[in-house]
Structure 1
Amino acid sequence: MPTPTPAPGAGAVPPRTEAVLSRLQLMVTRKLDGLLQGDYAGLLPGPGSEAGESREYRPGDDVRRMDWPVTARTTTAHVRRTVADRELETWLAVDLSASLDFGTGRWLKRDLVVAAAAAMTHLTVRGGNRIGAVIGTGAAPVPTRRWRAAPAPTGPGVTVRVPARAGRKEAQGLLRAIARTPVRPGRSDLGALVDMLNRPPRRRGVAVVVSDFLAPPQQWGRPIRKLRVRHDVLAIEVVDPRELELPDVGVLPVVDPETGELHEVQTADPGLRRRYAEAADAQRAAIARELRGAGAAHLRLRTDTDWLLDMVRFVAAQRHARTRGTTR
């Protein structure tokens, strides 16, 4: 199955990556598009500005909504009702820390990040819906810049903001911005990245956080809870099987992609493998507990499984839960 490849560095998107993004669009729309048809189920929309029916004026009504043609015909004051705005605004917080440039399964974790972003983008950018993103890579804190159709910035620690816009052309531009952002040494501040979706306050909508969530939960838990107050939040966790358990392959040299430190691990020791698996289970349980406490929907994608099938099952389960009136 085709997947995005890691960006080779600053500059334009290579032709192969461009072709992969196009194939991703086709795959997502074919397999997921039919699952999201119909009205939005989520936070209540605002009153909107689309003209609707008229009714008689009552004390306290906004005089700016007076329907003067109906008032003149009936000689009774009428106001125009408005139809609720059904336009959806979605924001992505994409974490491209150095730990994402790793993978021992079918893909790199970075591949899954781009694939997940492509899926959410193509599923929401229809009917005038807008989608934007904040992309973080490298060490925090760093200045923010506005994204334009120009080469990706260079230097350590970069946060890119792609303004929320409607249209498939703009959506493809957003995906190119994610695909061409190089992974840099260090870990981005996931909490600060999520907080960028809280400031400035935005209209109610959907917020999607894509990361491996390896940063301590106390760093990003509070910003996600704050985000959940105003938006529907989806957390997409990207996992590699080697982060859950070690294989028995003897002495295994491992490098921390965020610090560059080299360690040699004796994987033939069953006690070490057991402790590693227990620590990994505890870490993933803490991540799931923090996301559940924040009220965010949680989707886990693995580099050794079919990510598209996992996403289909997740979307179908979410729709089924909403139609039954159950919670996440």
Structure 2
Amino acid sequence: MSPLDAQTTARADAVLSRLQLLVSRKLDGLLQGDYVGLLPGPGTEAGESREYRPGDDVRRMDWPVTARTTQPHVRRTVADRELETWLAVDLSASLEFGTAKYLKREVAIAAAAALTYLTVRGGNRIGAVVGTGSSTVRMPARPGRKEAQGLLRAIARTQVQPGRGDLGALIDRLNRPPRRRGVAVVISDFLAVTDQWARPMRKLAVRHDVVAIEIVDPREMELPDVGVLTLVDPESGALHEVQTADPKLRRRYAEAAAAQRTAIAQALRGAGAAHLRLRTDSDWLLDMVRFVAAQRHARTRGTTR
């Protein structure tokens, strides 16, 4: 190992240690109860029936009880005690960007660390596929804190490869081979054309509870007035000079960015994924706490996300 690689490894380990302490302080106890995992999933063991409520999954309709009572009923299920979670972590070149507190890559790794901490307890298994531009790395799902820490170290040490990433292909890796129902988490900035990844997301949601974590930097939403600005496409290397003093240009940029984020949100909602947006200029951990709490509240009321 070269001195540069050793320094990078030591820095990654130090960051992960701080993240584990931070997550444990703020999130420990949040998911205490009869199910220990990121989301209180529906499970596979049959439970009691109850009356249908708007938003319930029609796939869990209890037709015999519905016919007997003439009122729509759904079959509740007992949550599985062991959960298998898979992360699809996009670490392509577009994530090597940030103009606020963090790089988008740092937020993505932090989100993966928090999710790993939340799901690894209770014998749960967690694995990952990591996209780095022109290549994809698969890390098998294993139980245990030691294995989870090794998984996070491997993700944090992953080096970006040149080339444009294929988010759709990365997500599709979670569909092969077919696995029992679990949780699938996709962490990306979702800047690829929605047609590229929307169909794999829908396919993934047929079998799994899907969580989509979108990483956003404020400069992707609006341009500051700083005169002539030279921009570089991190995936292609193309250079563009932009005159940011032009208010019309800044307005068009903001409108186009807002339209893009709306299209991303609609595609994720259409795929049936729970959508969390994390910004590089905000408290990402607080946003995750609110998201997980909201998911639990929705599920315990018997509604879907």
TM-score (norm 1): 0.78
Matched, 1:249 2:238: no
Q: Match for residue 203 of structure 1?
A: 180
Q: Match for 1:105 among 100, 109, 131?
A: 100
Confirm or deny: 8 A CA contact 1:9 1:182 kept in the other structure: no
SS at match of 1:285: helix
RMSD of aligned Cα (Å): 1.8
Write 1 or 2 for the structure with the bigger share of helix.
2
Gaps of 5+ in 1: 1-7, 48-82, 139-156
Task: Give CA-to-partner distance per residue, 1:86-137, whole Å, 9 cap, x none.
Answer: 1100000011110000000100000001000000001100111000000011
Q: CA deviation at 1:44?
A: 2.2
Rg comparison, structure with higher value: 1
Q: CA contact under 8 A between 2:43 and 2:79: conserved in structure 1?
A: no
The equivalences for 1:123-202 within 5 A come to 123-138=118-133, 157-202=134-179
**What is the CA-CA distance between 1:158 and the residue it aligns to?**
2.2
The percentage of aligned residue pairs carrying the same residue is 79
Question: How is 1:204-283 mapped onto 2 (pairs within 5 angstroms)?
Answer: 204-283=181-260
Contact between 1:9 and 1:181, CA under 8 Å: does it hold in 2? no
Q: Does 1:315 align with 2:292?
A: yes
Tell me by how many angstroms 1:10 deviates.
6.2
1:45 aligns with 2:44: yes
Q: Secondary structure at the match of 2:101?
A: coil
What is the CA-CA distance between 1:15 and the residue it aligns to? 1.6
- CA distance in 2 between counterparts of 1:10 and 1:200 reads 33
| Kept in 2: contact 1:13–1:179 (CA 8 A) | no
CA-CA distance at 1:180 after TM superposition: 0.8
Q: Secondary structure at the match of 1:213?
A: coil
Q: Does the alignment pair 1:18 with 2:18?
A: no
Amino acid at match of 2:11: R
2:28 to 29, 33, 42: 33
> Within 2, Cα distance between the matches of 1:160 and 1:200?
15
Q: 2 CA distance for matches of 1:100 and 1:46?
A: 40
Q: Whole-Å Cα distance in 1 between the matches of residues 139 and 6 of structure 2?
A: 16
Relative distance call for 1:177 and 1:99 in structure 2 (3 A) is same
- The structural deviation recorded for 1:326 is 2.8
Q: TM-score, normalised by structure 2?
A: 0.84
SS in 2 for 1:34: coil
Instruction: Give how far 1:184 is off.
Output: 2.4
Gaps of 5+ in 2: 47-77
Q: Which deviates more from structure 2 when the two are superposed, residues 184-193 or residues 286-295?
A: 184-193
Distance in 2 separating the partners of 1:10 and 1:286: 39
> In structure 1, what is the equivalent of residue 61 of structure 2?
none
